[in-house]
Amino acid sequence: MKLKDQWFLNSKIGQKLLRWVNLRPEESERTFMMFAFYATTSIGLVWLEAVAIALFLEAYGAEEGLPWIYIASAGIGSGLGFLYSQLQRILPLRRVIVVTALLMATPLLLFWLGLGNKSPIWLGEWQVTVIGLTTFLMRLWLEAIYVLNDLNTSITANQLFNIREIKRTYPLISSGILVADVISGFSLKPLIAVFGLRTIVLLSFFMMAVGAVILFYLSRAYRQAFPDLLRRRTEERQPDYLNRRLQGGPLGRYVILLFTFFILAQVLFLLIDFRFLSDLQGRSEEAIAGFLGLFNGILGIFELAMQWLASSRVIERVGVFSAAIVLPGMISIMGALLIAMSGLSLPSLLFASLVLLKFLDELLHYTLFASVGPVLFQPIPDTLRSRIQATVRGVAEPLSNGATGFALLGLLGFGKLDWILPIIFFLAVIWGITILFLRAKYVGLLVMSAERGQLSTDVDLRELKRAVVEALEQPGTDAHKAACIELLSQLDARNVGEVLAPMLGKLSATLQRKSLEEMLAFPNPAYLGNVRALIDQAPPPEVLAVALRYIWLTDSNPDIRQLRPYLRSEVDPIVRGTAASLMLRRGSPTQKAEATNTLRLMLTHKQERERVMGCRALGEALYLQALRLYIPNLLQDESLRVRCALLEAIAATHLEEFYPSLLRGLYYKSTRGAAMKALVRLENEAIPMLVELAEDPHKPDLIRMQAWKVIGQIGTLEALDALISHLMTAWGTNRRNILRILLEMPNDIGIESALDRLGRSGIEQMIDQEIMFIGQGYAALLDLPPQRVSGLEADLLRRSLRDMRLDAEERLFLLLKFLYPISAIKAAAFNLQSHSSSSVARGLEILDNTLDIPSKRALLSLLDHRPDRDKLESLSELVSYEPMIPSDRLRRLLDLRHFISDWGLACCFHLARQARWSLTADHTLACMRHPRGFVREAVLTYLKTASPRALAKLLPMLKNDPDRLVADQVKQIVKDFATSSSIYANHPATPGNNGINVSNVPGLETI
C-alpha cells in the first residue's frame, strides 16, 4: 500500500490517530499489520492454552505431569532457539519467519485428529491412549510455541523497523497479546458451548494460519527489509578486554545479580502457576477451559488498562526499584496469608486467595515487571548491553523451567508438595533482597558510567540523583565527581540545585564553582541561603564571583550597596569585575556610574588579566553605556585572551554593530573557538548571517563548514530547520558537512528532526540521488576508457570521477545512519574499505541484514567488487545508460556541473583542450563565473586554444580577478597576444580546424 493511497491516514482523523499512537505515516502499515499478526496468532495460542491445560489436568493432574512439562520445556526451548538459528543458514530470513509460523500451527491439525482417537498404544512397558499422548504432547508443544512466537515476532519487528522506529512501534505491537487475552478469554466459553472442546483446537489452528498469511504478506510487501543472503558464521571471538570486564569487578557482580533477579522471577511465576493449576484439577474439562477463558479475559482488560494508563506513570513517580519490588512484596504478603489459611478448613477461601494471587502475579508480571526489566540493563555500557541482555534473558528462563521441574519432582518424591507455599514466600523474600542489592550495584555502575561518558540518557532519574549524592559524599577525585554533576545537569538541569545546593559547603573549590554554574542556568530563590552560607566561608575568588552572581541575579530585592566593598582595587579582578557588572545591571544611576568607572580602569589597565576580566564583566552587564567606546581598540588588543573575551562579551550584550567581528573571528584559528562560542550564545539571532556565510560559494570551504557547525551547536528549532532545509538542495561538500553536523547533535535530535521534517521517504530520495550520481560517473568511465581517450588529462578526469564516487559513497553511509543503527553502518563501512574479499563480503552481509530501502539491491551491487559495466546494469531502474561518443559524454558531464567536484570540472576543460573538443557557450560562460580560481584557469586555458577571439574579449574583464593564479594567467595571455603578430597565426578562425569551433561565442560579453 503506497503512502499516497492511504487516504484515511492522510485525513485529519488519520493524522490524529497516528499522533495518538505516536506513529509516523510511513510506519503505520507495517505496525498495524504486525499488530494484527501478533494478536491473531496470540488468540489461537490462548485458546489452545485453555484447552491444553484443561485436558492435561484431567488426564495427568498438575502434581504428576507439570514437573515433567517444565523439565522438558527447558530443553525444548533451547532446542527450538537453536533450530531457528540453523534455519537461517539454509533459508532466507523472510522464508524462515513464515515457515516458523506454519510450523507452530501445523501440529495442531494432528492434535485435533489425535483427540478423537481413543485407541491404546504401547510405549515400552506403559500403555496409554492416543488421546492421553496427544494431550501431553499438546501441553508440551504449547510451551514450545510460546517461545517460538515471541522469538519470531521480535525478529520480524527488528527487520521491519530500525532501532529508532521500534521504540515507537513495538509497544503497540506487543500489546497484541493483551488484546488477544481479552478477545479469546470472553469468546472461549461460548465457542466451547457451540463447537465443543476438541473443535477449539481446529479454530486455534485457523487463527494461527491467518497469522502466518499476514506474515507472508509482510515478507513479500517489505521484501527489502529481509536479507537475501543466507546467514553465515561471521561471529568472531569477542575481544579479550570485554571478557575480562565480564569476569570480575562491579559489572560482573551486577550481571550475576541480574541472572538471580530474572531466574527468581521465572521460578516464582511457575510455582504460582503450578499451585493454581493444582487446585483447578478435579473439575470437568469444559469447566476448566471456560473458567480459564473468563479468567484470561478479565485479566486482559486489567493488563491493557495497566499497561496503557498506569505502568509508565507508576515507574516515573516511584522509581524503577520501588516499582520492581512491588511484585515480590505482593507475593510475599499473599504467600504469608495463604500459609496461614492452609491450616484452616476453608477450601473455598483458599482457592479464591490462590486465584487472586495468580491474577495479581500475571497482572504485575506482564506490566510493571515487563516495563522495569529493560531499564535494569541501562547502566551497562552500550558496547556490552545487548549481548548481556540477550544472554541473561535467553538463559534465565530455560534454567528456571528446568530447575523448577526438578524441584517439583523432588518435592513430589518426598511427599512434600505442601511446602510449595512456604517456598514461594521464602523465594519472594530473597527476590526482594536481590532487588535491594541490585539497587546498590546499579548506583555504583551509574557513577562509573558517568565518569566514562558511557551512560545512556534513558535511566531512572530518581536513582541517578541518589547516585550523584552518594558519589559526592564519598571520597573520590574531582574529575569523577564533576562527571556526575555534568551528567545530572544534562538530564535534569532545571532541578539540579535540589541535589547540589545542600552540598555546596562540603565540596572542593573546583566542584563548588561547577555546581554554582550549573545552578545558574535555572536559578531558584529557594537555594539563596545555601549560597550565602558559602560566601560566609570566604571561598576562593573564582567561587566567590559565581556565588555573587547567583545571589544578585536570583534575589528579587537585592541590596546593591553590599557590592561596593568588592569594587576596591585590592580585590581580585574576577570578583571586582563581577561586582561591577552586577551594579550596572541592577544599581541606581550613581552606582552604575561608579561601576562604569571601575570597568573603564580595568579595560585600560596595563595588566592582561585586568583587561580580560574587564571584558568578561562587559558580557555580564546589560547596558554598556560609555564603555562601548573601548571596544574597537580592544578588538585590536595584542592579547589573544582579551580579544577572545571581548568576542564573548559582544554576543552576551547583543552589540549588533560588532557582529561582523564575530564572523571574522571564524577565519583565524586563534579566535575560532571563542567566535563559535559567541555565535552559539546569540542563538537564533545569529542564524541568518551564518546561513548567508555558509551559502556563499566564494568563501573558503573551511569557513563555510564552521558556519554550518555553529548552526548545529545552536541546536534550536530554527537552527535545525535551517540545516534540514538546505540539506535537500545542498550537494557535495556542503551536503556532507550538514549530514555530519546533524548526526553529531546530542540525543539524536538532528536525526529525529530530519526524519520528522523529511520523513523516511525524503532520506531515501537523497540516497537514490547519490546512487544515480554514481551511475553517471560509471557511465562516463565506460564511455571514456583509456583505449579511446588517452593522455594525462584523461587520466586525471578518470581519477577525479572515481574520487567523486568515493565522496558519494561517504555521503551514502552518512545518510544510512539516519535510518539504521550507527554502529552497524560504521562496521559495514569499515569492512568495505578493506582490500580483503572476506572483509568486503562481511560488510555487504551486514548491510544486507540491516537495510530495507527500496534501492537496497542497487546499493549492494555498487559497493561490491564487480566490473563497472555490471554495476551500471544493476542501476537500470534508476539510471538509463545509452553509450555516447567521448565528446558527447564530456558535454554530458558539464551538464551535471552543479554536482561534480570542482577539480572534476577543471579536468573536463583540460581534456577538452587536449582532445580539441568543442564545448557550448553555456558551459563556458557558467564555468567562467565559477567561484574556484583553478576552474576559471582551466576555462581560460581551453579558450586560448579553442577560441582566441572570444578570449580576447574576456581579458579586460578578468585582469582584476581576485584569484592570483587567474590574474597572473591573464597577464601572461595579454603579453602573449601583444607579442603575436596575429592571434590567428596558428589558429585560423575556420569551423573545420580539427573539430574546434573557433567562431565568436555569443553572450561572452555578459561575463
Q: Which of 149, 177, 168 is nearest to 365 (CA)?
A: 177
* pLDDT per position as a tens digit, 711-725: 999 989 999 999 999
179-206 residue pLDDT tens = 887 888 788 888 888 888 888 889 999 9
Confidence of residue 451 (pLDDT cuts 50, 70, 90): very low
Q: How many helices (H) and strands (E) does the chain have?
A: 49, 2
pTM exceeds cut of 0.75: no
The type of residue at 796 is L
Task: Render pLDDT for 823-856 as a digit per residue (tens, 0 to 9).
Answer: 788 888 888 887 777 678 778 877 877 788 888 8
pLDDT band at 450 (very low <50, low <70, confident <90, very high): very low
| Amino acid type, 873 | E
How high is the pLDDT of residue 461?
Answer: 62
902/733 Cα distance (integer angstroms) = 10
DSSP symbols for 424-451: HHHHHHHHHHHHHHHHHHHHHHHHHHHH
Structure confidence at residue 599 as a pLDDT band (50, 70, 90) = confident
User: How far apart are the two ends of the chain, measured CA to CA in Å?
Assistant: 52
Other CB atoms within 10 A of residue 230 CB = 13
Is residue 990's pLDDT more than 50?
no
pLDDT, mean over the chain: 79
Q: What is the pLDDT of residues 411-438, one digit of tens each?
A: 777 777 778 888 888 998 998 898 888 8
**pLDDT of 409 over the 90 cut:** no
State the pLDDT confidence band at 2, using cuts at 50, 70 and 90: very low
Is residue 279 within 8 Å of 338, Cβ to Cβ?
no
**424, 490, 408: which is closest to 453 by C-alpha?**
490
Q: What is the pLDDT of residue 1002?
A: 41
Q: Grid coordinates 518435592 are at which residue?
A: 411
- Element containing residue 127 per DSSP (H, E): strand 126-129
Q: Are residues 930 and 902 in contact, defined by beta-carbon separation less than 8 angstroms?
A: yes
Least confident segment among 43-52, 199-208, 884-893:
43-52
Enter the C-alpha cell of residue 191: 465457542
Contact 966, 957 (CB under 8 A): no
Cα 136 to Cα 114: distance, rounded to the nearest angstrom: 11
Residue 772: exposed, middle, or buried by beta-carbon count in 10 A (0-12, 13-18, 19+)?
middle
When pLDDT is cut at 50, 70 and 90, the band that residue 286 belongs to is confident
Residue type for position 546: V
Q: How far is C-alpha 199 from the geometric centre of its chain's CA atoms?
A: 47
Mean pLDDT of 547-573: 84
DSSP summary character for residue 120: E
Q: Which residues, at least 6 apart from 280, have a Cβ–Cβ distance to it below 8 Å?
A: 53, 57, 62, 288, 291, 292
**What pLDDT band is residue 22 in, cutting at 50, 70 and 90?**
low
Q: Which pLDDT value is given to residue 813?
A: 93
pLDDT, one tens digit per residue, over 601-613 is 888 888 988 889 9
pLDDT of residue 453: 46
Average pLDDT over residues 329-354: 80
Is pLDDT of 495 > 70?
yes
The confidence score (pLDDT) of residue 984 equals: 39
Highest mean pLDDT among 131-140, 347-356, 542-551: 542-551
pLDDT value, residue 312: 58
- Helix orientation angle between 382-413 and 240-247, rounded to the nearest 10 degrees: 50
pLDDT of residue 172: 75
Helix (H) or strand (E) holding 123: strand 120-123
- Number of residues that make up the chain: 1007
Cell of 399: 534454567
- The SS3 call for residue 735 is helix
Across residues 350-354, what is the average pLDDT? 81
Q: Mean pLDDT, to the nearest integer, of 228-235?
A: 47
Helix H or strand E segment including 126 = strand 126-129
Helix (H, G, I), strand (E, B) or coil at 957: helix
pLDDT at 680: 92
User: Residue 809 in contact with residue 828, Cβ under 8 Å?
Assistant: no
Q: Name which of 434, 441, 436 is nearest 261 in CA terms.
A: 434
What is the pLDDT averaged over residues 356-363?
A: 86
For the record, the C-alpha cell of 248 comes out as 570480575
**Average confidence (pLDDT) over 353-370:** 82
d(CA 760, CA 51): 45
Percent of the chain residues topping a pLDDT of 90 = 15
Contacts of 975 (CB under 8 A, 6+ apart): none
Is the pLDDT at 83 greater than 80? The verdict is no
| Distance (Å, whole) CA 769 – CA 710 | 27
